[in-house]
């Protein structure tokens, strides 16, 4: 794997998101298998791993900490605060919570669960409209000065919010959903990141699995799988959105690649400061996805993809309305 930079932070050009080992995609796999896959990703060149307190809640950080303990000094681990998780019970309440005292509680608890001395990259998971972003950035700055955190990130934040935060504490990375069929960061967030030297980390770069071609209108989702309630994953939407997968398949056939590899290669070709993080529970999928870094898309390829995708209307909002309301604030 080649190296890219999120601000001053050097990481593998593709990272690994571990949320799928919680229950967001249905029942979680056995712990031993999850550890095998996470360690397998590292052995294949991944050095950026992403988790969050809310994944579980809490269980995912414990898993990631244990899985990466043998290689702790050779990896970058990102975690997140910002949802309203009760610090005593782990029960997730409504809304978000980025009050300074809550941030400090979450960081101490995350360090304990990960069994780390410091958090490499700490994201605000969603912007809290009740707490000025300057207060959030200032709190993280204090945590960096205390040695508990190394780098500050924001997730799903608006460009104006990112700029305000960056003025208080330099933002290393911004994480938002971004892929061939979800392009909201392009008008404002990506240009700002480029201007300020901030890295950009697309989550769901494979469209929560849809862009791999493994999902169609007949696919059944477990009741605990978030796609079961996602507007973009209704049966009607999946049927209509096959046009996006058909495009990827066509490009993939010409490159002797898979649709997933083309989807990741497209992101890597967009900007040199983009580091996508995919998620999977299978080691063979890890290997397949990392193969996307070896695919070169020429300017002609990128123009062909752009022309084709512009002729396709993606059906369905990317997330339920209540979740979307937390983004770009």
Angle at 48 between CA 188 and CA 211, to 5 degrees: 60
DSSP 8-state secondary structure symbol assigned to residue 121: E
Give the active site residue among 25, 42, 55, 178. Answer: 55
55 is catalytic: yes
- Cα 68 from Cα 33, distance rounded (Å): 14
DSSP assignments along 91-106, one per residue? -EEEEE---HHHHHHH
In the block, which residue shows the tokens 């969050």?
52
Question: Strand 119-124 to strand 149-155: parallel, antiparallel, or no bridges (unpaired)?
Answer: parallel
How many whole angstroms separate alpha carbon 180 and alpha carbon 292?
A: 14
Distance CA 248, CA 146 (A): 47
3-state secondary structure of 65: helix
Residues serving a catalytic function are: 55
């Amino acid at each position: 794997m080649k190296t890219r930079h999120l601000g001053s932070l050097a990481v593998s050009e593709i990272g690994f998101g571990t949320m799928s080992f919680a229950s967001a995609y249905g029942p979680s796999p056995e712990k031993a298998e999850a550890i095998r896959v996470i360690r397998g990703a590292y052995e294949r060149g991944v050095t950026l791993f992403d988790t969050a307190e809310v994944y579980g809640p809490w269980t995912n950080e414990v898993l990631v900490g244990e899985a990466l303990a043998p290689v702790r000094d050779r990896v970058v681990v990102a975690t997140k605060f910002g949802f309203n998780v009760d610090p005593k019970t782990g029960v997730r309440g409504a809304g978000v919570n980025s009050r300074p005292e809550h941030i400090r509680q979450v960081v101490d608890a995350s360090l304990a669960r990960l069994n780390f001395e410091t958090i490499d990259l700490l994201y605000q998971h969603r912007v809290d409209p009740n707490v000025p972003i300057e207060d959030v950035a200032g709190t993280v700055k204090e945590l960096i000065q205390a040695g508990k955190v190394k780098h500050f990130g924001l997730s799903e934040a608006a460009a104006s919010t990112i700029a305000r935060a960056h003025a208080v504490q330099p933002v290393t990375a911004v994480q938002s959903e971004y892929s061939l069929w979800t392009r909201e960061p392009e008008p404002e967030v990506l240009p700002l990141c480029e201007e300020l030297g901030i890295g950009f980390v697309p989550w769901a770069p494979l469209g929560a699995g849809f862009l791999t071609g493994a999902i169609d209108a007949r696919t059944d989702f477990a009741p605990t799988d978030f796609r079961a309630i996602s507007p973009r994953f209704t049966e009607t939407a999946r049927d209509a959105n096959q046009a996006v997968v058909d495009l990827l398949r066509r490009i993939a056939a010409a490159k002797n690649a898979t649709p997933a590899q083309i989807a990741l290669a497209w992101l890597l070709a967009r900007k040199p400061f983009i580091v996508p993080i995919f998620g999977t529970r299978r080691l063979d999928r890890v290997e397949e996805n990392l193969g996307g870094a070896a695919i070169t898309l020429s300017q002609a390829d990128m123009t062909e993809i752009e022309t084709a995708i512009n002729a396709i209307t993606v059906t369905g909002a990317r997330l339920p309305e209540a979740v979307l309301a937390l983004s770009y604030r």
